[in-house]
Structure 1
Amino acid sequence: MPEKRLAAVYRAYIDCLNSQDWEKLGTYVWQDVRYNGQMVGLDGYRQAREAEFRAIPDLHFDVRILVADDTTVASRLNFNISPQGTFLGLPVNGRRISFSENVFYEFADGKITNVWSIVDKAAIEAQLSAA
């Protein structure tokens, strides 16, 4: 898949997440998707994303950097959110936090087959300790 086409598919996937259009998630994500090396499958992937939106009412995926080749997307996503309760094991309790996620996606036939995610947890810890 040409790079521009894959980047467009990725942006449509992000729009799907931001609009919480869960019925369309399978358009972008493979049935046997893996997340950070673990087989989660489409249903598990969907459940995890739905749980994120329940715990973080103002969740919005903001693409800041997007690099694509014919099978891979690398993206830097920014977040400015107010998670309820704990987030990544940290007691956020509704406080506004900002951080980035570096995430890599492997595609096959236009769908995400593998996701590798690294969240900047240190940035969140620094904000919580400064307040």
Structure 2
Amino acid sequence: MIKSELSNIYRDYIACLNRQDWPSLARFVHEDVKHNGEQLGVSGYRRMLERDFAEIPDLSFNVELLVSDPPYIASRLCFNCTPKGKFLGLGVYGRKVSFVENVFYEFRDEKIVQVWSVIDKAAIEAQLPPPGAPSHA
């Protein structure tokens, strides 16, 4: 597969997520998909994403940087969203936060088979009041 083809598949996958088009997810995600080493399968991957959107109703995946080196994609995703409650163990509770996710994908048969994701939790922490400070959400 050439770089531009893989990039186009990835961008279509991101559009699928942003539409929350869960019936189409299997078009992009391999039945044996793993996320950070955990075997999820398509149904587990879908449940993870549905939970993310339930907890963060204004969630939107925005590609800031994309590098294609088939069968791999590296992407820096930007988020500006409002988690309803705790997020990554942090008491966000309806505050708008901005952060990035650096994520690597491995593709097999034009589908995502492996995902390695790191979210910049420190960026979120820096936007929240220090522990013990009065809350003004």
Query: When the two structures are superposed, what TM-score results if normalisation uses the length of structure 2?
Result: 0.94
The equivalent of 1:116 in structure 2 is 116
Aligned mates of 2:7, 2:16 — CA distance in 1? 14
Report which of the two has the higher share of helix: 1
Unaligned runs of 5+ in 1: none
The equivalent of 1:97 in structure 2 is 97
Aligned mates of 1:52, 1:93 — CA distance in 2? 14
The equivalent of 1:60 in structure 2 is 60
Question: Which one has the largest radius of gyration?
Answer: 2
The equivalent of 1:46 in structure 2 is 46
Aligned mates of 2:123, 2:85 — CA distance in 1? 18
Aligned mates of 2:126, 2:21 — CA distance in 1? 33
1:125 counterpart letter in structure 2: E
Identity, in percent, stands at 55
The equivalent of 1:4 in structure 2 is 4
The equivalent of 1:127 in structure 2 is 127
The equivalent of 1:20 in structure 2 is 20
Aligned length: 131
Aligned mates of 1:112, 1:53 — CA distance in 2? 20
1:106 counterpart letter in structure 2: E
Name the SS of the counterpart of 2:10 in structure 1: helix
Unaligned runs of 5+ in 2: 131-135
Name the SS of the counterpart of 1:83 in structure 2: coil
Q: Runs of at least 4 residues of structure 1 off by over 3 A?
A: none
Name the SS of the counterpart of 1:80 in structure 2: strand
